Amino acid sequence: EEQKRLLENRPDQPQNAKVLRVAIIGAPNAGKSTLSNQLLGRKVFPVSRKVHTTRCKARGVITHQDTQLIILDTPGLTNPLKAKRHNLDEAMLTDPWDSMKHADLVLVLVDVSDHWTRNSLSKEVLKCLSQFPHIPSVLVLNKVDVLKKKFLLLEIATDLTEGIVNGKKLEVKSALKQDSSSSAKSPLHITRASPPESKVPGSPSGQEKNQTQEGSGLDKSSDVEGADIGEAQGPKHQGPEDLKDTKGWPHFQEIFMLAALHGEEVDTLKRYLLMQAKPGPWEFHSDVLTNQSPQEICDNIIREKILEYLPLEVPYGVTQVTEVWEEGECGELLIMQSLLVPRESHKRMLIGRGGKVISKIAREAGQDLMNAFLCDVCLKLKVEVKS
């Protein structure tokens, strides 16, 4: 009731209100929901190591003084073939595009721990960026704590930006010894070289040419500061043919490097987002953290645990039905949910030997719900085969 009332209330905005709508896009499992939760300071979006944990677009709301950030957490960009394989709704294909339409800024999240995909943006992400070239975009390299060889970050950043950030060429210089013991806080430098005839980023002659230029260090702040590009032309809309051999996007305004799971450098990104806000009316009351209903948050958190503890494609066939949702005598929340599975073998897997799996799911989901709702939660789960 409280959440419903807050969502229906007129926003309590100050006189000089500012707002920024931020879409977070990326491949499935890049860490979009983890980053959203860290920015919000509370867990309201489901997180799992399995792909397609986020099934719908949801909004997170950060209100700081006169500024409101609206975080559009979206499902991972996927294609129709993969959507069919994971039994996904059609909305999974359209929601990220809808979020882009309403965004003032887009964060493109890339998992640098995945050596198969980290050196090029997925075709779906590139297609999305090229469809909305007028929306400012920022590259966020996630899971940098997992990367042992930190010098690789320079190579990844150059590949994903095609050597250009904010209209300037990047000159990559590394003062690192290229070994696995290199620290993330070591002096990594990316320099913007303004002359158009500069050599390719990272080439020895290009480095010498720009040795005297002032660079911005990728040190503790982990962001690459922007430079004005004057009257430079903005990115143009590109068709599928233009993207065929494209690996990166040369129109990013900034690069951030962080570890969303541990909250490393998330505050740096948050401060940047607050600074990008423009004058405009707030969309939500300052007490709103998300536009999801408590039931939606509950469903998502339970499904997160099912995804975590069931193998392969099994969790994607589970249907959740809430039987009981009521407040107890002492203000605790009583929830009972039925988990419907298509086969008897799936039921045995979900229950586990001696009920161990279902007990673990209920215990962990209950704890997360307490943290989300800030009240005691008594959660009971039962498993049935769909009739």
The pLDDT tens digits of the residues spanning 14-64 come to 999 999 999 998 887 788 889 999 999 988 888 876 655 554 567 899 999
Mean pLDDT of 185-195: 42
Q: Please tell me the predicted confidence (pLDDT) of residue 200.
A: 36
Rounded distance, CA 329 to CA 326, Å? 10
Mean pLDDT is lowest, of 35-49, 75-89, 155-169, 346-360, for 75-89
Asked whether residue 265 carries a pLDDT value surpassing 50, the answer given is yes
- DSSP H helical ranges for 10-118: 32-40, 80-85, 91-101
Structure tokens at 114: 């995945």
Q: Please tell me the predicted confidence (pLDDT) of residue 312.
A: 72
Mean pLDDT of 241-269: 87
**Full-model pTM:** 0.75
Residues 298-355: pLDDT tens digits? Answer: 998 999 899 888 887 777 888 999 999 999 888 899 999 999 999 999 999 999 999 9
Question: Is the residue at 19 inside a domain?
Answer: yes
Asked whether residue 236 carries a pLDDT value surpassing 80, the answer given is no
Query: Parallel, antiparallel, or unpaired: how do β-strands 164-165 and 252-257 relate?
Result: unpaired
Residues 310 and 254 in one domain: no
Residues 143 and 119 in one domain: yes
Burial of 99 (0-12, 13-18, 19+ CB in 10 A): buried
Cβ 124 vs Cβ 27: under 8 Å: yes
Nearest to 381 by CA among 352, 359, 354, 353: 359
Question: Which is more confidently placed, 79 or 216?
Answer: 79
CATH code at 351?
3.30.300.20
Residue 141 binned pLDDT confidence (cut-offs 50, 70, 90): very high
Cβ 67 vs Cβ 18: under 8 Å: yes
Rounded distance, CA 240 to CA 294, Å? 41
Question: Is the residue at 222 inside a domain?
Answer: no
Question: Is the residue at 284 inside a domain?
Answer: no
- R_g over Cα of the chain: 23
Nearest to 136 by CA among 226, 220, 14: 226
Residue at which a domain ends, from 279, 306, 324: 279
- DSSP H helical ranges for the chain: 2-8, 32-40, 80-85, 91-101, 123-131, 152-161, 204-209, 266-276, 294-309, 344-351, 356-373
Write out the residue range of the structural domain in which residue 300 sits.
294-385
Residues 168 and 304 in one domain: no
Residue at which a domain ends, from 229, 254, 279: 279
Q: Please tell me the predicted confidence (pLDDT) of residue 317.
A: 84
Nearest to 53 by CA among 78, 22, 82, 29: 29
Q: What residues form DSSP beta bridges with 153? A: none
Residue at which a domain ends, from 279, 306, 336: 279
Residue 234 binned pLDDT confidence (cut-offs 50, 70, 90): low
Q: Please tell me the predicted confidence (pLDDT) of residue 335.
A: 96
